[in-house]
Amino acid sequence: MNKKLPLFFSKAMSSDKCLSLVWLRRDLRLHDHAALHFALKESGVIQPVFIFDREILARFTNPKDRRLSFLAQVMLDLDSALRTRGGGLLLLYGPASEVMPKLVQALGAKRVVAAADIEGPTRTRDQTVAKALEGIASFHGVKDCWLMHAPEVTKSDGSPYHVFTPYSKVWRSRITPEDLAERKVEDKERYANVEHLRTSAVAAGLRVLDLNKGLAALLEQIGYAPADLREWPADAGHERLERFAEQRLSAYANDRNLMAEDGTSCLSPYLRHGLVSVRECARRAWDHPGAEAWINELIWRDFYAMILYHYPQSAHTEFNPKYRDVLNWRQSDEDFARWCQGHTGYPVVDAAMRQLRETGWMHNRARMIVASFLTKHLRLDWRLGEEFFAQHLMDYDLASNAGGWQWASSTGTDAQPYFRIFNPIAQGERFDPNGEYVRRYVPELINIPAGKVHQPWGYNAARDYPKPMVEHTQARAAALHMFKQIA
Ligand SMILES: Cc1cc2nc3c(=O)[nH]c(=O)nc-3n(C[C@H](O)[C@H](O)[C@H](O)COP(=O)(O)OP(=O)(O)OC[C@H]3O[C@@H](n4cnc5c(N)ncnc54)[C@H](O)[C@@H]3O)c2cc1C
């Protein structure tokens, strides 16, 4: 058994009967929940709290951002589930680093428990809150959002791994049944009186949001309007996990690259926000025949979180020092706009970009193809693509997104070698052999037969579809030249 490392931050706590605030962030559920489990082990009452952080919301510039609708719906669902258990959600709005200490003071809470995060700004914010609470309340960051946290999988000298394969071997050798065990939530009669707490919070000048008037009214309070959530029902996480485990998991290794198939779990938005617990995903898959490849993806998730934890700057700068700030990226607003719109003239790239815009999600193979196309065929900076994904992905996660973009652009840790440049036609023919994926998202090509759909130019039925914006062989040569210039 691995000797566990200490939690991210933990202070001595009083055993008096008292109020514990459970600060929900990337763990938006009420089962298998480390922070609730931790708080419930102590005496006293508990109160779940979520803060719509004004500083984070400033990045959501689309007034109908579907992630905000999703989150607002999750808040309504959490509140009604808590009501059936004798509690309710305390939902606030403001700069979280200021709101949380004020809330603790206003309610006389004695401890705050939250799932520890790995993103640099969030860690800084939590340290600010923990400091502001010194002498008033204890702050506990508990392990919940990843199966293995960054400090748990290191080389023997304590330094972080940069390469996935040795990392994953050590990860597999160190994970214990305890890491996968359910964090039970035995909360009967343990909730505080939320109405009293809301009144005290309002009296302290905090902005408490009204959960009683439905989705549109809740969104209006934070400055947004409802978006279409049919693709992403907030309560669908469990059903998706069950369906995937029963019907698709055994075939995952074979089907995961076929873009027209339901070969992957589509759980990423639910995992990102903690509507399903990553432990329950791993437990469901652990002894399942053929689940090895899927568990490997959960390890990639931990790997990128570990990289971001140790190298926060890798979110915005090239991980590989050889390429840091020296690659001669082109600048072309017009080319970038064509990529964003899905008008590149390469059917698989265009289908993928339109899938993203229409649904808020994109198949992993398609993410690799469009990222390679942007950075190598168009030689545009990977940060532009990273930011565009950040604005559109339902599952947007800084660690996995920056990791994926740096992998595809060959600038990252354990990245694709620079000379491996996806041919978008060959990728389409291999991973969308019947052209179903392309025809689903590119209506201009609906009448092109399967064998021609990845090279439709010149066909009368494709007259409304653009010619390729760059020629593959020339674009490939120019990309190789750009990388080779860096000795
Ligand atoms: C350029 C690029 C950007 C990406 N941006 C994100 C992002 O912002 N958020 C995100 O969650 N994933 C991102 N990924 C990883 C991957 O594409 C998605 O996690 C996956 O497509 C989600 O679909 P799924 O839930 O069906 O995955 P499955 O194949 O069913 O995998 C199960 C889970 O494992 C995790 N996972 C799978 N593949 C990866 C991977 N390569 N890296 C890290 N975690 C993985 C996800 O949490 C996923 O839900 C990115 C990949 C690339 C190439």
Instruction: Note whether 261 and 379 are same-domain residues.
Output: no
Task: Clarify whether residues 61 and 104 are in a common domain.
Answer: yes
The span from the CA of 117 to the CA of 212, in Å, is 30
Distance 361 CA to ligand 1 centre (A): 10
Alpha helices in 54-163 (DSSP H): 54-57, 66-84, 96-107, 120-132
> How would you classify residue 435: left for phi > 0, otherwise alpha for psi between -120 and 50, otherwise beta?
left
Q: Which residues line ligand 1 (CB under 6 A)?
A: 256, 264-268, 271-272, 297-298, 300-301, 304, 364, 367-368, 371, 389, 393, 395-397, 400-401, 404-405, 408
Nearest CA to ligand 1 atom 44: 301
217 occurs within a structural domain: no
CATH number (domain holding residue 128): 3.40.50.620
Q: What helix, strand, coil percent values describe the chain, rounded to 5?
A: 50, 5, 45
Distance 376 CA to ligand 1 centre (A): 21
Q: Whose CA is nearest to atom 39 of ligand 1?
A: 297
Type of residue numbered 290 = G
Structure tokens at 342: 């899905």
Q: What is the mean pLDDT of residues 56-75?
A: 96
Residue ID of nearest Cα to ligand 1 atom 38: 297
Distance (Å) from CA 362 to ligand 1 centroid: 9
CA of 298 to the centre of ligand 1 (A): 9
Mean pLDDT on 82-111: 98
Question: Are 164 and 100 contained in the same domain?
Answer: no
Q: Which atom of ligand 1 is nearest to the CA of 304?
A: 43
The domain spanning residue 155 has which CATH number?
Answer: 1.25.40.80
Atom 6 of ligand 1 has which residue's CA nearest to it?
401
Q: What is the CATH number of the domain that holds 358?
A: 1.10.579.10
Tell me the CA–centroid distance for residue 270 and ligand 1, in Å: 12
Q: Is the pLDDT of residue 13 over 60?
A: no
Is the model's pLDDT at 10 over the cut of 50?
Answer: no
Predicted pLDDT at 17 = 58
C-alpha of residue 89 to centroid of ligand 1, in Å: 30
Residue nearest to atom 19 of ligand 1 (CA): 268
On whether residue 268 sits in a domain, the answer given is yes
- What's the whole-number mean pLDDT along residues 49-61? 95
Indicate whether 91 belongs to any domain: yes
**Do 150 and 139 reside in the same domain of the chain?**
no
pLDDT, mean of residues 20-38: 98
Residue nearest atom 2 of ligand 1, based on CA coordinates:
404
What is the number of structural domains in the chain?
3
How sure is the predictor about 3, in pLDDT bands with cuts at 50, 70 and 90?
very low
**pTM for the predicted model, two decimal places:** 0.95
Residue identifier of the C-alpha nearest atom 46 of ligand 1: 268
Average pLDDT over residues 320-329: 96
Cβ atoms within 10 Å of 320's Cβ, excluding its own: 19
Average pLDDT over residues 173-187: 97
Atom number of ligand 1 nearest to Cα 278: 47
- Positive or negative torsion for Cα 22, 25, 29, 32: negative
Give domain status of residue 376, yes or no. Answer: yes
Range of the domain at 51: 1-144+191-211
How many whole angstroms from 365 Cα to the centroid of ligand 1? 10
- The answer on 198 and 68 residing in a single domain is yes
460 pLDDT tier (thresholds 50, 70, 90): very high
User: Could you give the CA distance from residue 199 to residue 209 in angstroms, rounded to a whole number?
Assistant: 12
Q: Are residues 2 and 139 in the same domain?
A: yes
Residue type for position 483: F
What are 301-318's pLDDT values in tens digits? 999 999 999 999 999 999
Task: Report which ligand 1 atom has the smallest distance to the Cα of 303.
Answer: 43
Residue 343 included in any domain: yes
CA-298 nearest atom, ligand 1:
34
Q: Are residues 100 and 51 part of one domain?
A: yes
- Smallest Cα–Cα separation from 302: which of 149, 170, 134, 442? 149
CA-closest residue to ligand 1 atom 21: 364
315 assigned to some structural domain: no
Q: How many CA atoms lie within 13 A of 97 on its CB side?
A: 11
Report if residue 221 sits inside a domain.
Answer: no
Query: Looking at residue 4, what is its pLDDT?
Result: 40
Pair 286, 365 in one domain: no
- 363-373 pLDDT, tens digit each: 999 999 999 99
In sequence order, what DSSP letters do the residues of 415-434 get, joined into one string? PPPTT----HHHHHHHHSTT
Contacts of 50 (CB under 8 A, 6+ apart): 23, 24, 25, 28, 75, 78, 89, 90, 91, 92
304 alpha carbon – ligand 1 mean position (Å): 11
Location of structure tokens 């706590």: 13
What average pLDDT does range 245-271 have in this prediction? 97
Q: Which of 400, 413, 431, 437 to mutate to test the pocket of ligand 1 (most atoms within 8 A of CB)?
A: 400
Q: How far is CA 421 from CA 251, 354, 417, 429, in A?
A: 28, 22, 9, 16
Q: Is 8's pLDDT higher than 80?
A: no
Model confidence pLDDT, tens digit, residues 380-410: 999 999 999 999 999 999 999 999 999 999 9
Task: For ligand 1, pick from 167, 244, 297 the residue to mutate: most ligand atoms within 8 Å of CB.
Answer: 297
Q: Whose CA is nearest to atom 37 of ligand 1?
A: 297
Is pLDDT of 11 > 50? no
Half-sphere exposure for 17 (CA within 13 Å, toward CB): 5
Beta strands across the sheet bearing 45-53: 138-142, 111-115, 19-23, 45-53, 90-94, 207-208
Ligand 1 atom closest to the Cα of residue 271 is 47
- What's the chain's average pLDDT? 95
- How do beta strands 111-115 and 19-23 pair? parallel
| pLDDT tens digits for range 189-241 | 999 999 999 999 999 999 999 999 999 999 999 999 999 999 999 999 999 99
Asked if residue 170 lies in contact with residue 153, where contact means CB atoms within 8 angstroms, the answer is yes
For residue 272, give the ligand 1 atom closest to its CA: 11
pLDDT given at position 487:
67
- Residue 293 corresponds to which tokens in the numbers above? 């490849």
3-state secondary structure of 120: helix
- Beta-carbon neighbour count of residue 420 at 10 Å? 11
Same domain, 328 and 389: yes
Does 95 lie in the same domain as 33? Answer: yes
Confidence of residue 9 (pLDDT cuts 50, 70, 90): very low
Whether 164 and 280 share a structural domain = yes
Active site residues: 297, 300, 329, 364, 382, 405
260 shares a domain with 385 = no
- The count of residues in the chain is 487
pLDDT of 12 above 90:
no
- Cα 176 to middle of ligand 1, angstroms: 24
CA angle 442, 444, 445 (to 5 degrees): 75
Least confident range from 4-13, 253-262, 291-300, 463-472: namely 4-13
On whether residue 113 sits in a domain, the answer given is yes
Counting DSSP H helices and E strands in the chain, the numbers are: 22, 6
Tens-place pLDDT, residues 103-114? 999 999 999 999
Two tokens, residue 211: 């959960």
